Amino acid sequence: MKLSTIALSIVPFAFLSSAHALEHNLTEAGKVKLHSAKQNMLNPTQPKLAQNTHRQLDFSSQETTTESITPVCPTLSTGNLYTLSGASAGNTICYHFEITERSKTTALLVGQTGASNIDLSVLKHNSDDTFALLGTSANPGTDDEVVVALTEPGHYYWYMEVKESDGSAFNFGAAVATQLDEYEFNDTVATATMLSTGQNVIQGNMDSATDIDMYQFTAVNGQNLALRLKDNSSDEYIFEVYNNGWVPLAANKIHPISGLQENHTITLRVRANTALPVNTNNQYTLSVQSVVASFTSHKISGEANVIRIPYSAFSDPYLTTQAYRNLNWSLTLNDSTGAPIESASAKLVLADTDGTTDYVQTSDANGRISNSINLGTCSPQVTNIEHTQYSLGYKNTWHSDVEVKGWRLEIETNLDSDNDGIIDKIGIGGENVPWVYLGHICDQDLVSSEKS
C-alpha cells in the first residue's frame, strides 16, 4: 500500500504562542488606581529572585504556606478585566492575586493605545519573601501581552514595566483554568510535550476555549507514521500538523505520514473548536505511532523436548505446532525502515472447543516480544495415535492422545488503507488459512523400543 505523503518541515515557531486576549471572557471590573511597586521585584542582582521563566513547575515536593505571606501590592481578583490609566515611562506597577488550587493562569495586558509600550510579567511570592519569575511578555508597542503559567496554590503578581506611555488607559486581568490534563503546560512549541520514540496513545482535554495542547515527535529512523485524534464524534477539538503552516487533519481518521528523514521532528497541536462550548470533562485520544511494517525472528512452538506426531501418523489436520503444557512465542516488530519498534503490540489468538483467548504482548526497547502460554487442562479428542520415533539407535513406538487447537498471530500496522474503520493487520493466519493447527499432547505412552 502506498502511503500518502506530507512533506513536513522545521521552521521557527516564535509566532505560534500568541492568543487573542478577549477570548478569555473576563468580566469588566472597572478602573483601579495606579500602584507603583515599592521594590524592584525583577532585579536579577537580588539573591532573593529565582528565575523560572517558561519552565514547568514541580508541585510534588512544595509546601503551601499561603497564610504566612503578606502581599506587597493591592489584591485584585482573577476572572476580571481591570482598567488602568495615568502610567508614565519608567513606572513599575504591580497588583497581587491569589491562586487556591493547582491551575493554569493566563495573565493578560490588552487594549493599549496611543504612545504605549508596557511589558507584563507574572511573579510568584515565595514563603521566604523571595520572588520567582514565571514568565514575561515584552511585545513591541501596543501589541497585547500574554503570559501563561502553571500555578500552584499561592500568591502571585501582575508586574508591569512601562517602557513608554502617554497615560492612555489599558486593561489587564488573569483567567484561571483548573480542569487540567496531565500534559499541561504545553500551550506553545517551546513547552510542547515531547512524545516518546515508541508508540504513543495519550488522553487530554481542553481546559478553556483558548487552551492549546502542543506535541512533538521525532522520527529517529525516518520511519512512516500514523496519526489519529479520536473525539467520540463530538467535534470539540481541532487537530493540526505543522507543514509550512498549520494543516488541519480530520478527527477519527488515520493519517499516514511518509517521506521523513532521520531525526525529523513533527509538531502537532490540538485546540478547542470555539464554535462549541468547552466541556473540560470530555477527553480526546491522540495516537502518534510508527507504522508496524514487518515482523522477523518469529517462533511459535512447544517445549524443546516434544516427541512430535509426524504427518504420516496423523494428517487430518496436520498438527503444525505441538506442545505438552506451554506454547512459547517470540518475534521482533519492525518499522518501515526495518528498525525495531519499542512499545508496539502483537496478539496471539488461541482457539479450542470453548472459544478463543487473546494474549497481547508489548515489545521491549529492542522491538522484541517473548512470552509463554500455559495451555491448561488437556481434553483429548483423538486417542491412541501410533507413531514412531528414532532416537539414539532405537526405534520407539508411541501412542499419543491429543486435543486439537489452533492459533494465529495478529499484528496491527496502525494503518487503515481502505478507510473502513478496521486497522490493517499482518501476521500468521487470515482469511484463506485462518488457523495454524496446534496439537496439545495430553498423554504419550511408550509402546515398544527396539534397536533399529
Torsions phi, psi for 134 (to 5 deg): -90, -25
Overall average pLDDT of the 396-419 stretch: 96
> Residue 228 above 70 pLDDT?
yes
Overall average pLDDT of the 178-193 stretch: 71
Nearest CA-CA partner of 174 in 258, 81, 110, 236: 81
**Hey, how many other C-beta atoms are within 10 angstroms of the C-beta on 201?**
12
Written as nine digits, the cell of 209 is: 476555549
Overall average pLDDT of the 78-83 stretch: 94
Overall average pLDDT of the 52-78 stretch: 58
Asked if 260 and 223 count as a contact pair (C-beta separation under 8 A), the reply is yes
| Residue 18 Cα distances to 102, 108, 139, 157, 212, angstroms | 23, 11, 10, 21, 11
Nearest CA-CA partner of 226 in 336, 338, 333: 336
| Residue 143 Cα distances to 111, 115, 188, 407, angstroms | 8, 12, 18, 65
For the segment 430-443, what is each residue's pLDDT rounded down to a tens digit? 878 899 999 999 99
Highest mean pLDDT: which range of 172-186, 207-221, 387-401: 387-401
If pLDDT is split at 50, 70 and 90, which confidence band does 50 have? very low
DSSP string, 214-255: EEEEEETT---EEEEEE-TT---EEEEEESSSEEEE-TTS-E
